[in-house]
Amino acid sequence: MATPAAAAAPNTAATSEKKKPVFVKAESLKPETHGHNLTVKVVDSNAVKATGGANRGGRSSASLNPRGPARLAECLVGDETGCILFTARNEQVDMMKPGSTVILRNAKIDMFKGAMRLAVDKWGRVEVTEPADFDVNQENNLSLVEYELVNVEE
C-alpha cells in the first residue's frame, strides 16, 4: 500500500513541466475566448474617465477601494495581421505608450456593446519588450466588427 505522499509525487512531477506559450496573431481572435498570447505594438492610447460607484447606495468609492478610483485607458494595439482595442487598467496604463511593443500573456476577449475588446486580468501579464519589426495593419480593425448574439432553437 503506497503512502499518500508517495502517490502524489508522480503527479507533482508531471504538473511542474510548463508548456511553451503559443503566440497567436490578431486576426485569429474570436469573441468570448481567453488564454491568448500576443506580441503587439501600441498604436494609440486614450485615457478613459472612470464612471460609477461614488454615489450608489450612499457609500463613497474610497471606502470600497482603498487605492482610489481605477485608471482606465483604451489602447489600439495590433500586429501585421490586424488591430484591436485593448482595455488597460491601473498599472497597465503606464506600459501602454504609443510606439512601444508589449507582450500580452493570457489575454481574453471581452464584448462591449457588441464589439470585441482585448483585456488582461489578474491571471495574465503585460510586459514591455524590445521593439518589433512589423507595421500594424490598421485596415483590419477587429473592434469595428459588430457581433450579435443569436439563440438557435433545436
Q: What is the pLDDT of residues 108-144, one digit of tens each?
A: 999 999 999 999 999 999 999 998 898 899 999 999 9
Local confidence band at 11 (pLDDT 50, 70, 90 cut-offs): low
Local confidence band at 1 (pLDDT 50, 70, 90 cut-offs): low
Domain range list for the chain = 22-49+70-143
CATH 2.40.50.140 fits 22-49+70-143, yes or no: yes
pLDDT at 64 over 80: no
Angle, CA 83 vertex, CA 78 and CA 89 arms, to 5°: 70
29 close to 40: Cβ distance less than 8 angstroms: no
**66-90 pLDDT, tens digit each:** 566 788 999 999 999 999 999 999 8
Query: Number of C-alpha atoms within 13 angstroms, CB side, residue 115?
Result: 12
Which is more confident, 46 or 52?
46
Task: Quote the pTM value.
Answer: 0.73
